[in-house]
Structure formats: C-alpha cells, structure tokens
Amino acid sequence: MSGQRHRSWHTPMQARSATEAHRAATPLELFFDLCFVVAVAQAALPLHHAISENHIAEGVGTYLMVFFAIWWAWVNFTWFASAYDTDDDVYRITTLVQIAGVLVLAAGVETAFEDGTFTAIVLGFVIMRLALVAQWLRAARSDPDHRKVALRYAVGISVTQALWLVWLTVPESWSVPLFLLLALAELLVPALAEYAPGGPTTYHPHHITERYGLFTIIMLGEAVAATTIAVKTGLDEGKYLPDLVVVAASGLVIVFALWSLYFERSAHRLLSTQRTALVWGYGHYLILGAAAAVGAGLGVVVDHTTHHAHISGVVAGYAVAVPVVVFLLAVWLLHVRPVQTGARLAAYPISSVLVLLAPLGPAPVTVIAVLLAMLVVVTVAGSRRGVPAAEAPQATSLL
C-alpha cells in the first residue's frame, strides 16, 4: 500500500491495483485470521480424538468436510480483500459480521463430529456469505469496469448458499455425495466469474501469497499448540516422561521443517495467470488442512505413548505420516515443480515414500523428523548454494 489511505465512513469501492507498492496484510485481515484459529482448533481436536478411539473413517471424513467450510470461507474473504479492500467503516463492519459468522461456524464443529449435524456450521456460513454478497454488490455498484464479474460472484455465492440450506434437509445417505457436488459448485464460482467477460478481478500477487503464508503459519502453530496440550496431559500423570520428550522434540522438528520447506521461496511469481492462481489457491486446501492435521496426529501419538489410544503403533504413526506426505506433495506440486530442476526435484517424492514407510518401523515420529530434516538440508540449504535468485529458472505452469 503506497502511503496512508484516508479512512471514512463510506468510500467508492474501486478495484485496487495489482501492482500497488508496499501492499501488506492489514490489522483487520490479521484479526480475521486470528478468529479462524478458533474454528481450526475446534476441528483438529475431535480429529485427534476420533483417530485415537479408532473411529478413523468417520473422523477423517468429517474433518475434511468441516475444514472445507473453514478454508473456503477464508479464501473467499482473502481474494475479495486483495481486490477491494477500501478499509472504510462500511467495509470494516461487514468484515466484522463475517468474523461473527466464523465464530458461529466454530461453535458447530463439535456437533458435526459427534452426530453429523452441520446446522450451526451452515448457519455460520450463511452469515459470512450474506456479508460477502453485500460486498460484491457494493463493488458492482462502484466499479463499472468489473461490474459483470462482481455480479457473477454475488449470484453464484447466493445460489450455492441456498443449496447448502437445502442440503441440511436431505437424507443422511445423500449427505456426502451432495456435499461433494456442492463443494465442486463452490469451486466453480470463481472460475466461471473470473474467466467470463468483465474479469478478472485485480488481486495482488504479493498480497495473496503473504496472506496464504500467514494462514499456513497459523495452521503450523496449531500443530505446536496441539502437541503441547497433548504432552501436558500425558505429563500430568507423572509417567512416560522420556518417551514424551522424544515425541515433543520430534514434533517440533517436523513443524520447523514443514515451515522451512513452505517458505523456501516466494510464490508470488507463480500467480502470473488466472489459471495458475486458481490452481495455486485451491491447492492450499491440502497444505492448510494437512498442516492442521499434523497437530492432531501428534496428539494421537501422545495418546498411544501414554496408553490412552485404542489403535496400534502403526496406525498412530500414520496419523502423522499421512498429513506430512500430503503437505510435502502439495508444496512440491505448487511451489517446487514449477521452478525447480535437476535431482532436487525428486527429493520431495522420494522423501514422501520414505515417510510413508516410517510407521512400519520403530519410533516413526522420530524417523519422520529425521527424514524431513534431511529434506530441508537437501532442498533449502542446497538451493542456497546453487543458482542465484536472479538466474533462477522462470516459473512454469502448475499443471
């Protein structure tokens, strides 16, 4: 953002420049993200308990559905704000309404896991989406050049939101298939709106990559918090101290490594076209969901270590290994493959295979931590000794 903008009660909502200098996340955006921490924590904890109690399929399925609602609500706000953040009072109030919807959504996560009731989650979603539709209609009125794309967003969001309300009434046997169809419809709204005449919106690549990076940090922070709480619970019994110290240390190494791998290089150059931006943005469902699930998996390992889990050591190991591999492969696809060449390009897939084998042996979490540390050395440290940034390969298509 170049200079300090004057804030008023109501200003015309004009599209911001995609090349605006010094564009950084605002305090309101950071507050918005902070409130999402509540929802993410509410989703990760019951996933941890479901796996420990050997309700794996139900727990993972519900987690994927709940996290989609959380992630998609965040994505919708983030991309809109990148194009139309006026920071006037009307914009701030509308954003605070969306935050209220997040909290309602978070309040419904527990019942979604316990009995499959998504009423509160959809209600929170409704609150957020109505506020977002109001924002798009305001943009359509103030920005003639992008009126058509803004109206397409407003109509698409309204229609899909109405369908979510209908979804609450369908028989349980239809719930998951219709959820998948509605999720696909949600993903199609930006694609159809942006590609049709009048698009695309003027998102800011630096701003978008910063926002996604900050949210990734929040997800990894949730992993640290979940591990800390789980270890404290185990220590309260006064036993298992050596084993828990190893689990905690290994968990920290895993989180530190995932952070290093994600932030190895800036991704803003990858968002050069609408197609690559959509793939990159949508692909973060895997990165963000896996990062939060790592914390749940580490909690499962603590439960197994303290003999509170009803699963084998192999299953407990896979509770960490699977989300780590999902994270690695998603980062490889979105951040590494478009720009990396040579032997280091194969390091992520090879490490992923080894991580998946780790639960079959002793001390799987420690082995995973060592493998990730080695991957950091090979890729991050290795790249710094390689081609200078000015001579680095140009980004290619994500697909």
Helix (H) or strand (E) holding 198: none
In this predicted structure, the answer to whether residue 389 has a pLDDT above a threshold of 50 is no
Q: Which of 179-188, 219-228, 297-306 has the lowest mean pLDDT?
A: 219-228
Please count the CA atoms within 13 angstroms of the CA of 290 that sit on its side-chain side. 23
Pick from 350, 361, 351: nearest CA to 318: 361
- For the residues 2-21, what does the mean pLDDT come to? 63
Encoded amino acid at 192, one letter: L
What band does 398 get if pLDDT is binned at 50, 70 and 90?
low
Q: Is it true that domain 205-387 has CATH number 1.20.120?
A: no
Calpha distance 47→169 (Å, rounded) = 25
Taken in order 71, 75, 78, 80, the sign of the CA dihedral is negative
What pLDDT does residue 393 have?
42
Calpha distance 312→324 (Å, rounded) = 19
What pLDDT does residue 21 have?
79
182 in Cβ contact with 159 (< 8 Å): no
What band does 49 get if pLDDT is binned at 50, 70 and 90?
very high
Strands, DSSP E only, in the chain?
none
Tell me the pTM.
Answer: 0.90
Which tens digits make up the pLDDT trace of 123-150?
Answer: 999 999 999 999 999 999 988 888 899 9
What pLDDT does residue 238 have?
67
What pLDDT does residue 239 have?
75
More confident site: 390 or 348 = 348
Encoded amino acid at 161, one letter: Q
More confident site: 322 or 84 = 322
Reduce the DSSP state of residue 339 to 3 states and report it: coil
What pLDDT does residue 87 have?
82
Q: Name the average pLDDT for the chain.
A: 87
What pLDDT does residue 52 have?
94
Name the one residue in this structure whose structure tokens are 């990730």: 372
What pLDDT does residue 388 have?
44
Which tens digits make up the pLDDT trace of 63-85?
Answer: 999 999 999 999 999 999 988 88
What pLDDT does residue 354 have?
97
CA-to-CA separations, 139 to 98, 132, 147, in angstroms, rounded? 17, 11, 7
What distance, in Å, lies between the first and last C-alpha atoms of the chain? Answer: 32
Calpha distance 87→84 (Å, rounded) = 9
Residues whose CB is less than 8 angstroms from the CB of residue 181 and which lie 6 or more positions away in sequence, other chains included: none
What band does 8 get if pLDDT is binned at 50, 70 and 90?
low
Query: Would you state the structure tokens that stand for residue 226, as one six-digit string?
Result: 């979940």
Which tens digits make up the pLDDT trace of 229-263?
Answer: 767 776 776 677 788 888 888 999 999 999 999 99
In this predicted structure, the answer to whether residue 396 has a pLDDT above a threshold of 50 is no
Calpha distance 127→208 (Å, rounded) = 24
Q: Which of 13-22, 54-63, 326-335 has the lowest mean pLDDT?
A: 13-22
Q: What residue segments make up the domains of the chain, in order of their start?
A: 27-195, 205-387
In this predicted structure, the answer to whether residue 3 has a pLDDT above a threshold of 50 is no
Reduce the DSSP state of residue 322 to 3 states and report it: helix
Query: Would you state the structure tokens that stand for residue 99, as one six-digit string?
Result: 């935050």
CA-to-CA separations, 230 to 45, 218, 326, in angstroms, rounded? 10, 18, 23
Task: Tell me the Cα Rg of the chain.
Answer: 22
Calpha distance 92→108 (Å, rounded) = 25
Query: Would you state the structure tokens that stand for residue 257, as one six-digit string?
Result: 């490594």
85 in Cβ contact with 18 (< 8 Å): no
